[in-house]
Structure 1
Amino acid sequence: MSSSGVASSIQARAREIAKEDYDKARILLEDAAKSHAYLYPFKGIVYFLTHRALWKPFSSRVLPTLGLSAGVIAGMFFFTYLPQLAILVFVNGPLAAFTTILLVLNESSTLISILSRNFLIQEALLDTFDGTLITRNETEIVKEGRQVKSGSDPIDKLGKILKSPFEKFSPKALIRYVMYLPLNFIPVVGTIIFIFIQGRTRGQSSHDRYFQLKEWSTSRRSEWLKQHTGAYTAFGTIATVLEMIPFASMFFSFTNAVGAALWAADIEDQNTQMEQSTAPNLREAAKKAE
């Protein structure tokens, strides 16, 4: 085959691969839009602000976490902004000042998340998620993972934790973060793709507690996430962007936990409605069979 023929073959294959990737991305975006999962981080903000009882776990951790956030962000900008700007200016040009800020904020957000989730807010986020489920009358589900006491305050009703799903920041997640970090060298688009990838990972972990309370196996959980990839990516991307906002990242960590719990409660409501509508039909079919 001539060199021109080889080049044509490579171009044709490249177009085919590009079309496949485009189709996958289009389907993913369509699924994300139809699911409306991207709304739950915002629903979480509204719900959190209008339900004062859910503020207790947040208020108990706010001062130490704000101090941690201030220290991390200040340190990252002082030590890493100029060196990264010097690199990005060669590929991003005038936009480098803006893209470097986004990069440093993303890096800071990751560090804050690692430190705070491991040492400061792990249990508080769990209380927030479980407390939100209780406010949505999903107490029986919460009982699968912890003791629930009597009373009217959803947080005060939370007893001893029997199962805790929140894992420490895994080396695998850190490796993936570093591996995709060079995407930020691509002007604007690269940063967007980087946030999107981080959002996909963030979204897939948003219902770890829910899956545990439902006692789903690893295979069932994987199948569910595969069927709803667009929805979880949409939720995770919005959650990631919100948690990148300086000094407000902790607040949004809690509101995102609320949003994830609201989403889980809606899934439960939908399943209950399906069971209630299906059961009479099954009974009717059984009578006819007799």
Structure 2
Amino acid sequence: MSDQQSFAQSVQAKAREIAKEDFDQARTLVKDAATSRAWLYPIKGIVYFAIHRDLWKPLLSRLLPHLALSVSVVAGMFVFTYIPQLSILVFVNGPVAVVTTVLLVLNESSTIVNIISRNFLIQDALLDTFDGTLVAKNETGVVSEGRQLKSGGDSIQRLGKILKSPFEKFSPKALIRYIMYLPLNFIPIVGTVLFILMQGRGRGNMVHGRYFQLKKWSSSQISSWLHQHRGPYTAFGTVATLLEMIPFASIFFSFTNTVGAALWAADIEAKDTSMTSTTAPELRDTAKKAQ
């Protein structure tokens, strides 16, 4: 056997080994995401928000400006970018490009709206919603680490002066990562699914920014927690991303997803994460170590 053949076989064996590792990691991630049931929290957020009228106040205070922004962005994106992107995707996706391009434009529009809205329109309102949900769940001890609380009134009326700055806004790193993964949409169907999953993973990593802040966790503690629970946070983030892609309803789901994230945080505090029996103990042990 020649040296070239031996080298080629060595490269192929290494490639198969790497592919198997990546597949096993992906399979583990999907299994953890499914069994954690964290994907239910965005749905729980919708239900909880619907029956707790006091949590509507922050949303109602920002509704009209956000809707105006959403209409402008979505309409503009479809007018100016749908046809150009369709003309490209049709060559790789075939007839389904009509659908995948719609999903792509909606995702792009959602990203633009989120960047503008979260930085300039609804940041404080989302903060009030998160803290207000924790107060409604009787987690006042946690909330008091980040803001003053008043006595009497509903969960929103009890929120006083903010003592710690709000959770992280949409970061430049997230935008760069979004642009990097856009080419995945050129892969028929699977690529669009992977793109949304990647967006969901990034979205999931941000949902408990306020909670980590209130718990006074260090950057290393946060990184360790997120790394050990990539599956649950990816599951939450993916469902949240899909909901926020719905045109003109994205602001509603931004708030319900925030409620869902707060409910999850409250369950972690109460050591009742609604996880499976194999995942919940890990979450509890990690929470104890991180504190």
Residue 255 of structure 2 aligns to which amino acid in structure 1? F
Q: Which runs of 5+ in 1 are unaligned?
A: 275-290
Partner of 1:103: 104
Q: How does 1:194-233 map to 2 (within 5 A)?
A: 194-233=195-234
Counterpart-to-counterpart distance in 1, 2:225 and 2:170: 23
Counterpart-to-counterpart distance in 2, 1:191 and 1:175: 18
Name segments (4+ residues, structure 1) moved above 3 Å. 1-7
Counterpart-to-counterpart distance in 2, 1:51 and 1:164: 26
| Cα contact 2:146–2:214 (8 A) shared by 1 | yes
Secondary structure at the residue paired with 1:6?
Answer: helix
Partner of 1:113: 114
Secondary structure at the residue paired with 1:76?
Answer: helix
Q: How does 1:8-157 map to 2 (within 5 A)?
A: 8-157=9-158
Query: TM-score when scaled to structure 1?
Result: 0.91
Residue 242 of structure 1 aligns to which amino acid in structure 2? L
Counterpart-to-counterpart distance in 2, 1:263 and 1:164: 21
Q: CA deviation at 1:165?
A: 3.1
The answer to whether 1:158 aligns with 2:159 is: yes
Q: CA deviation at 1:184?
A: 0.5
| Cα contact 2:77–2:105 (8 A) shared by 1 | yes
Partner of 1:175: 176
The answer to whether 1:239 aligns with 2:237 is: no
Q: CA deviation at 1:217?
A: 1.0
The answer to whether 1:252 aligns with 2:261 is: no
| Cα contact 2:124–2:166 (8 A) shared by 1 | no
Q: CA deviation at 1:3?
A: 4.0
Q: CA deviation at 1:108?
A: 0.1
Kindly report the root-mean-square deviation, in angstroms, between the aligned alpha carbons of the 2 structures: 1.5
Secondary structure at the residue paired with 1:61?
Answer: helix
What whole-Å deviation, never above 9, does each CA across 1:119-143 have from its counterpart, x for those lacking one? 1100000000000000100011111
| Cα contact 2:167–2:213 (8 A) shared by 1 | no
Query: TM-score when scaled to structure 2?
Result: 0.91
What whole-Å deviation, never above 9, does each CA across 1:77-112 have from its counterpart, x for those lacking one? 000000101111111111111111011000000000
Q: How does 1:267-278 map to 2 (within 5 A)?
A: 267-270=268-271
Secondary structure at the residue paired with 1:60?
Answer: helix
Q: CA deviation at 1:218?
A: 1.0
Q: Which runs of 5+ in 2 are unaligned?
A: 273-280, 282-291
